[in-house]
Structure 1
Amino acid sequence: MEAVRAGRTAETLRLTARLTDAERRARLAELKELRKELRKTPAWENRSMKVLPALHLAGAACHTGAAAAAAWIAASDLRWNQAPTDALLRALEGRDTGWLADVAHRLAQRPESAGVPYDLMAALVARSGCEVPVTDPYVIGWVRHVGAGRCLNLVDRLRREPHLAPLVGGLFTLKDLGEIRWLFGDGPGSWQSALAALAREGLLDRASLVDSCVARLLRGGGGPTDHRVFLPLLTELALTREEQRARIPDWTGLARDAVSPVASHAQAVLAGLALDGELSSRRLAEASEGLLFRAEKKLVRAQLVLLGKVLSRDGGATAELLPVVAQAFGHEDSEVQERALKLVERHAKRLDDSEARDGLACLVPQLVPALRTRAAAVLGVAADTVEEVYEEVLPPAPEPVRTAPAPRTAEEVAEEVGALLATDGDVAAFERALDGLVRRTHQDPEGLRAALGPVLATRWWTRTEQRHRYGREDLFGNTRYGLLTAQEGLELLLATLHGVVSTHTLHEGMRRRTSEYECVHSGLSRVFDARLREVAYRLRTDPMPLLLAMPSWSTGLLEPEELVDRLAEYRRLDARVGAADFAQALLRVRRDDRAAAEQAARRARALGTPEGTRLARWLAGVNTLPSSARRTRGVRILLESTELPELQDGFPPEFQRLGRPTSVFADRWHCAHWDRSIRGHWLAVLPERREMVAARLLGDLAGTAVDDERGAAVLPLLAESGGEAGEAVHLCVAYGLGARHAEDRLAAVDALLVLAARGELDAARLGADLGELVGRGAVKPQRLADSARTAAATGANATMWEMLRHVLPVPLAGLAGARPEAAAVAARGLGDLLAVAAECAERSGAKGDVAHLAATAARRGSSRLVTQARRLRDALAEEVAA
């Protein structure tokens, strides 16, 4: 034990070799006690770094049970300073082979993150002569081990592996190639070429490799790039035509469902079989049904070309294949629809079965309106039977939800607080829990503390060994940035109730008014911070009976009558009103219903309290917004606002920041508001003035389009909030529609549809903003096209056309006046945007003109840009021509 405590690894190894099994077991209690001591010392400190290797070695040598020895060797707290592998192997000398095999297999079952050295496991397998464990950690370790050897080429290294077949088999069962993907390489010298060479030599069973490759590709899963290993290996194995023919169901499944490169390979195999007459029409139809609805247009076009060749060569296949071709009438791309229609036009005359023609006719309404007349003519259907009367469909406008009253019992409060700490709840859930904490502290503080016991037991600040190195007082007292999340606010309140934070710290946190780190979010974050710090201080010194600012609705809005009732309760109890809580209540109280506001104002004035008088004056006013001006930073369009005196007169200093001017050139280097979960609470600060919140979030939303950041999930909440939806709200939605990530674009589409359903969307304003952003390069046309297509698919074609007709003139004008190389860049993605616009115009029956569209449509060639420009021009001019 002296040798272990001194960190003398070599001496520890020599001394443990002399011990009997009984003596080894007798030392375990001391070793475990030393391990417990070291757990309290950071692993990077000198003592731990010196002692841990000797402790690791001694524990491995002294455990006589295989399970206990494996658990000690792979322990997470010993991982960072393990004993050398050769020392561990010497310490385990003399154990019987069954024991060594058991340890080896137990170590191989540990997760890869445990960091068990492969050399140790492999040596134990070799010494015991046991079957090699084909687990993910062992196989990954083997791949790294083989890849590390550079003295021989890869084929020679693999030839020397005694367990080659089972370990190669383990490659195909790995959950995820993950960080070892790069080790497999590409081309000559890669693992794929080496394994194929070994299969040709007979060292690996070729049929088994083929089966495993196909099975892995069919199973999918794993990492997003795993196919880059298994597909090249399948290609290297060079399947014969007989082998390809035997796997037709597998190729069909891969073509329909696999990732794009794998589906393309499977499609090529099926195409070769079909053109050689070795694929039946039924099998081709099965494969085509899935392929024609894939998102990759290249695959869909290739399949239509293949179907066209087969139909031209084999007229007997028309009845089986033409209905499959017609399935493409429902594809989202109009060019795919037209290709499918051309095939139907070319081969429909061979259809003698009236039932088959009726089946094709049922699919005609899925075509874009410009193609329906042609389809009806070729199928002998009356044109008026396939025309549809357009009706705009918008989702129902979401209604705000009434906030449930605060939980009544301490146990219910504890349950809701625990749920909020485990998951980020919404504003209503947070406010209910907050109000519950306040009410129960006022009524039964001891009962609340007892009910919160299980919740407190999970918090880090209740355990001494997990104490933050800066101290709990410093963390909860820090007001440099404010409380950045709602969870931090709950932690502060719980720590206050638990007695962790001193009254002095709570008082200092409430008194500090400003921060040296100011950013555009500071006004909103300071209001949130000030209210929670006030609640925490009052929990300790003078518990409030209830919260005045508890919202009536999920948006944060507070009904004036409810606020008057709460002030009356304060007067009855002779309780002191919290300044920040009352100020937040004023900002939340509804003022747009003038009749309700006037009635509540009379009741408030009759209370005879300063707060009642202040509320009556506030309700007599109306919500105003500061004037704003556009500013540009690079390609971004942002807004600056002027001063708003209404939010400075009579409000606490923390709240006055909301009424001060904002600048887009303010220093944001020190902005710490990275947690997006707080943004819903910011909207609840000003539930009837979302324009002010949107202006402060505009820079963040711009980042989703310009810098490929995340963060547009707040947009639906912004759309559901109250107040004017003006320039800031529409710019936020515009950036969201051009966001890099699909989830953010979907959130922006939701916001757009909510605004439209509530009659608050100014499509012309939004379109003009988007046109300017596209022209500046802040929004990419292809991303905007994806968002517009998603919105139009819900049935909002007229709404989207109204927006797009104001978007298109700017990029079309830039295209017309640009040099050839610049025009090519400008045209990127514009064809997709024109395609969506054309479909919206066709479906909604829009007519008129778009500036610079005629010049684009008059260009030579048949590029997607020109084709879709002509399609849009014809759709808009159709009625005029008649």
Structure 2
Amino acid sequence: MTMTTPLTWVGLDRRAHRNEVGAITALLLAATEEERLALAEDVEAGIKKADRDGWWRGDTSPTPGHALAVIGCMPTAAKAAALLLRGNMRNWSAVTPRLFLEIAQARELPWLGELGQRLAARTPVRERWNNDWPFAVRLMHAGGAEPPVTEGVTRAWVEGLLRPAQQGTPVPPLSIRMRDDPFLPVLLPAVFAFDGLGADLLSDSWQESGPQFPPVVAHLVAEGTLERKTVLDLTVDRLVRGDKPHCLRPFTLLHEALAPGIDEMSSHALDYARLLAEAPGAVAAVAQKVLRAVDDAGRLELDTLLDTSAATLVRTEKTLVKAQITWLEKVSRREPGRAAEVLETVAVAFGHPALDVQDRALTVIGKRIGDLDPAVVARLADAAVALSGDLPARAAALFGTVVEEGPAEIPELPPPAPPAAMPAPIATPAELAEEVAALVHEPAAIRWERVLAGLVTLNTTAGPAALATALQPVLDRYPGDFEENTWNRSKPLLHLGVAIRSAIGTDKPGGLWLWLVTSLRTAWQDGRRGGVDSAIVPTPDGVLALRVAETVTQLTSTMVPLLMATPTHVTGSLDAAVLLDRLRRAESEGWQPWPVDFEQALLRLPRVTDPVVAAGAATLTSPAGRQFAAWLADGGLPDPVSTRFQQEPARRGYTWYSPVGRRVVAALTPARGGGLRLERQLLTIAPGPHPEEFPSAFHDAGDVLAMVLPHHREVTAAWALPELAAMTDQEQREGAAVLPLLAECSGPVGPALAYAVAYALTARYQESRIAAVDAFLTLAAGPPPARAAGPARAAEAALPGGAAPFAGAVGAAVADLGADATLKLSRLVPALAEAYRAGAAVAVWEVLATALPAMLASPQRGLPDLLELASQVAGAVHARVEIPGLAEVASRPGSSRLVKEAKRLQTVLTP
């Protein structure tokens, strides 16, 4: 007599963990449907009770065998899907589909297709598990169900078509795979519906080369498998709705493969007109080609052409715009009765940023000027005010007007707004706790200042008990930041944790506390920070860590009610009158400021002091008060000597990245001996002979760095310069955020800041160049800083009223770095053009006038574009100056663009 093994959860679970899937299948097949359904609750409870995160450890989590128990016992697709989609069942699809289907067929499940649909509906858009979608497909095929149309399903379907799993047999071509796929009618339209999916279509099967989707779909259309009108409508609609250019490329290729006829193109004329005006360049070029064919066939409304041309003529793609002008010229001859309208549309190109486009438009209009009514000519003359470079004079001769120029028309930037005041002080322990928690996620300098000030003040006013109630939960929530580990010994957040625990009485003097105290003593007594025995880094941002370390040692012993160095403005600047009030309070209450905090306060004072404040300081009697008065009387911190320093490439063997060429940085030397204890390290930089590879000291601390010396931005720029240079010569992404902050600070502009701006204007990433332009505009609009020694200022005398001195220094840096193509003109020209359009024409011209002689002597790729920009800017500022080397280039024979643009600039500069 054969004994049958009873069907129990314990037995199934034991066999599942031993991966005995065959035995589990046999048990489920041998049981009756009543026995299977009776076990459903035990299976559900067992899977739900299992460790949710244990699947990746391979311990007690559900295994593929448990998925067989689910399909063998659950009464509905909903319950089965709910269990299979649990987080601890992520490996359910590792089970052999044959066993899964064998059990389902034995049970004669009517909901197998529904289960496949439910599983497919949860297919993620990204990071799909390898076998989940194919498994769901098998279930839907077996149950005769259609897939849900979601983005995840559509992407998974496309991936399966383009990169099919190889099962040891030859894979049919994509055309056959698509034709035979039962999901094609349902999912193909969805391919056109989801943004970004076009990027997936550029991925091909390993057996095929080149984008296969466009020609295959066109082939299926040609053979009648797919309806032509539907596919063409979907394609045009996808292009009209727009997407990133690379995501639209397969649909552009599909459009070309479909090769629509004149009737089809005419029916979508308005769609193509919208594409010509708004779509990415490659798509707009296709639309332009189609519309010209429709126009040649006499089936394009002229009003449609004129409306879309007005938007097209100001696009940045010069080839596209020039082709549009040529097309409009042809139409003006074909439609003489409406030539005036057409040519007034061409005049829209007068506002194009490229001079050769403006030139083309003016030339086309000039050919027909004799056929136009005086009123039309007058309107064209009005439009010509947008022309720049040498073109206003040509337009004046053409339209019979007068070119007006004078200093009053030079564009000027509005003066910058004063730096914003610091936010209100932290008032309660609860608010302090919120800011400390926020500091973990965003360690901004402004937040640091508020937290330090709040901790010191509330320790006196609220007391340790209230601080403990509010702050201890924050320390417990972020142990990786506030407790010591291998990576954070020099981090200010760790020091803050020690300070907080000292204040609330939970940290006893010991290892880390003693280390911070020792580091502080060394820094204060010897003026030395950094090294293996110090918790404080030697760079300026280390002053923050030094102040936090001082808080650790002083908070519970001196009980001062406020910090001296808390700035009054977000730049880090501290009003001298406010510091005077703080010192008066200290004298009246009988306490002394903390030493490091007080030195930081002095370093944050403005360069110019109100005489009333200086007189008040002279009445102070405490040691700190007398030091404050002497500091003001001596004029504060003297500017160090900032010197250009060129680093040469290091000789090295093979490296996976390109070695750095020469890099220009800055050396700093203090202007005096003695001074503050913080002073020597802050004002001393001795660069090494070779560039540092991928410097990153200030990527995440640019604002902290800037707030240490807010009125000596040249010093801060010198520290940050290696990282700013690496944005160009090593194409690093981070670092530029400090530049707008430095521009809002004050102090002379020397070689460090000049080279910093020059490097950032040609950085690899657009966000870095945007930050550089913002800084450039602030520097151009601000009050003239102290004049820095350095390169000659080639154009200042030629400009009415002079120009900001920083621009000449930036121009000299550009000339230096452009001599060996360290700077790419293809990045510099758009950045300077943006600054020019924003109103900094005078400063941009000085950069160009200073840089051009060296650029002309050693031409680099992109020089014609730089000359074109120079013509525009010189015309705007009415410059009349000789550029060395320009006449020689302009007199060369030939009609190259370099010679043409040199002649144009020479014409603009010639009275």
> Which band: TM-score by shorter chain?
0.7 to 0.9
**Residues 639 and 695, structure 1, Cα contact 8 Å, conserved in 2:** yes
Query: Which residue of structure 2 aligns with residue 850 of structure 1?
Result: 883
The residue identity in structure 2 corresponding to 1:84 is V
Consecutive unaligned residues of structure 2, counting only runs of 5 or more, are 1-9, 165-169, 520-528, 648-660, 786-803
The residue identity in structure 2 corresponding to 1:854 is A
- The superposition leaves residues 437-485 of structure 1 with CA deviations (integer Å, 9 ceiling, x where unpaired) of 332233224444545688678x453xxxxxx6xx963339832x534xx
CA spacing shift, 1:188–1:33, aligned 2, 3 Å: closer
Match of 2:599 among 557, 572, 583: 583
Query: Which residue of structure 1 aligns with residue 216 of structure 2?
Result: 194
Deviation, structure 1 residue 85 = 5.4
Query: Which residue of structure 2 aligns with residue 440 of structure 1?
Result: 458
What is the 5 A alignment of 1:69-108?
Answer: 69-76=80-87, 78-79=89-90, 83-84=94-95, 86=97, 94=107, 96-98=109-111, 100-102=113-115, 104-108=117-121
Query: Which residue of structure 1 aligns with residue 822 of structure 2?
Result: 778
**More deviation, 532-541/319-328:** 532-541
Deviation, structure 1 residue 800 = 1.9
Query: Which residue of structure 1 aligns with residue 540 of structure 2?
Result: 524
**Residues 400 and 555, structure 1, Cα contact 8 Å, conserved in 2:** yes
Residue 112 of structure 1 aligns to a residue in which SS?
A: coil
Deviation, structure 1 residue 105 = 3.1
Query: Which residue of structure 2 aligns with residue 242 of structure 1?
Result: 263
1:119 partnered with 2:134? yes
Query: Which residue of structure 2 aligns with residue 714 of structure 1?
Result: 738
Query: Which residue of structure 2 aligns with residue 268 of structure 1?
Result: 289
**Residues 563 and 597, structure 2, Cα contact 8 Å, conserved in 1:** yes
Query: Which residue of structure 1 aligns with residue 194 of structure 2?
Result: 174
**Residues 576 and 606, structure 2, Cα contact 8 Å, conserved in 1:** yes
CA distance in 2, matches of 1:519, 1:740: 35
- The superposition leaves residues 37-87 of structure 1 with CA deviations (integer Å, 9 ceiling, x where unpaired) of xx3x6x664637x86555666667666564554354344555478643526
Deviation, structure 1 residue 271 = 1.6
Query: Which residue of structure 1 aligns with residue 767 of structure 2?
Result: 743
1:836 partnered with 2:860? no
- The superposition leaves residues 517-576 of structure 1 with CA deviations (integer Å, 9 ceiling, x where unpaired) of 999984113212222243356567776532221111221112334334334545666667
What is the 5 A alignment of 1:435-834?
Answer: 435-444=453-462, 445-451=464-470, 459-461=477-479, 473-475=483-485, 478-479=488-489, 481-483=490-492, 504=510, 505-512=512-519, 514-516=530-532, 522-535=538-551, 544-570=560-586, 577-593=593-609, 595=611, 598-599=614-615, 601-604=617-620, 606-607=621-622, 609=623, 611-621=624-634, 622-633=636-647, 634-643=661-670, 651=677, 657-665=681-689, 668=692, 673=697, 676-710=699-733, 711-757=735-781, 758-760=783-785, 761-762=804-805, 763-815=807-859, 826=860, 828-834=861-867
The residue identity in structure 1 corresponding to 2:841 is N
Query: Which residue of structure 2 aligns with residue 136 of structure 1?
Result: 151
**More deviation, 574-583/236-245:** 574-583
CA distance in 1, matches of 2:58, 2:313: 64
**Residues 410 and 448, structure 1, Cα contact 8 Å, conserved in 2:** yes
Residue 183 of structure 1 aligns to a residue in which SS?
A: coil
Query: Which residue of structure 2 aligns with residue 821 of structure 1?
Result: none
- The superposition leaves residues 378-415 of structure 1 with CA deviations (integer Å, 9 ceiling, x where unpaired) of 44x53257999523312312312222431223344345
**Residues 325 and 346, structure 2, Cα contact 8 Å, conserved in 1:** yes
| Normalised TM-score (structure 2) | 0.84
Query: Which residue of structure 2 aligns with residue 399 of structure 1?
Result: 418
CA distance in 1, matches of 2:346, 2:436: 57
**Residues 306 and 342, structure 2, Cα contact 8 Å, conserved in 1:** yes
**Residues 74 and 107, structure 1, Cα contact 8 Å, conserved in 2:** no
**More deviation, 508-517/396-405:** 508-517
Match of 2:233 among 211, 229, 232: 211
Deviation, structure 1 residue 203 = 1.2
Residue 524 of structure 1 aligns to a residue in which SS?
A: coil
**Residues 507 and 537, structure 1, Cα contact 8 Å, conserved in 2:** no
Query: Which residue of structure 2 aligns with residue 31 of structure 1?
Result: 47
CA spacing shift, 1:671–1:733, aligned 2, 3 Å: closer
CA distance in 2, matches of 1:682, 1:626: 17
**Residues 309 and 345, structure 2, Cα contact 8 Å, conserved in 1:** yes
**Residues 628 and 640, structure 1, Cα contact 8 Å, conserved in 2:** yes
**More deviation, 413-422/700-709:** 413-422
CA spacing shift, 1:851–1:650, aligned 2, 3 Å: closer
The residue identity in structure 2 corresponding to 1:397 is P
Consecutive unaligned residues of structure 1, counting only runs of 5 or more, are 462-467, 816-825
CA distance in 1, matches of 2:383, 2:176: 60
**Residues 292 and 327, structure 1, Cα contact 8 Å, conserved in 2:** yes
| Normalised TM-score (structure 1) | 0.86
CA distance in 2, matches of 1:603, 1:46: 76
**More deviation, 232-241/662-671:** 662-671
CA distance in 2, matches of 1:612, 1:291: 67
- The superposition leaves residues 115-135 of structure 1 with CA deviations (integer Å, 9 ceiling, x where unpaired) of 251112112212322222222
Identity %: 30
The residue identity in structure 2 corresponding to 1:120 is F
**More deviation, 231-240/401-410:** 401-410
CA distance in 2, matches of 1:503, 1:97: 72
CA spacing shift, 1:160–1:376, aligned 2, 3 Å: same
CA spacing shift, 1:61–1:553, aligned 2, 3 Å: farther
CA spacing shift, 1:8–1:85, aligned 2, 3 Å: closer
CA distance in 1, matches of 2:676, 2:199: 59
The size of the alignment, in residue pairs, is: 838
Deviation, structure 1 residue 241 = 1.0
CA spacing shift, 1:718–1:7, aligned 2, 3 Å: farther
CA distance in 1, matches of 2:49, 2:257: 57
CA distance in 2, matches of 1:35, 1:552: 54
CA distance in 1, matches of 2:614, 2:817: 44
CA spacing shift, 1:871–1:473, aligned 2, 3 Å: same
Deviation, structure 1 residue 16 = 6.5
Query: Which residue of structure 1 aligns with residue 446 of structure 2?
Result: 428
CA spacing shift, 1:477–1:303, aligned 2, 3 Å: closer
CA spacing shift, 1:521–1:789, aligned 2, 3 Å: farther
**More deviation, 704-713/249-258:** 704-713
CA spacing shift, 1:492–1:51, aligned 2, 3 Å: farther
CA distance in 1, matches of 2:68, 2:550: 55
CA spacing shift, 1:125–1:476, aligned 2, 3 Å: same
CA spacing shift, 1:547–1:31, aligned 2, 3 Å: farther
Residue 641 of structure 1 aligns to a residue in which SS?
A: strand
**Residues 758 and 814, structure 2, Cα contact 8 Å, conserved in 1:** yes
**More deviation, 257-266/862-871:** 862-871
**Residues 281 and 317, structure 1, Cα contact 8 Å, conserved in 2:** no
CA distance in 2, matches of 1:317, 1:446: 85
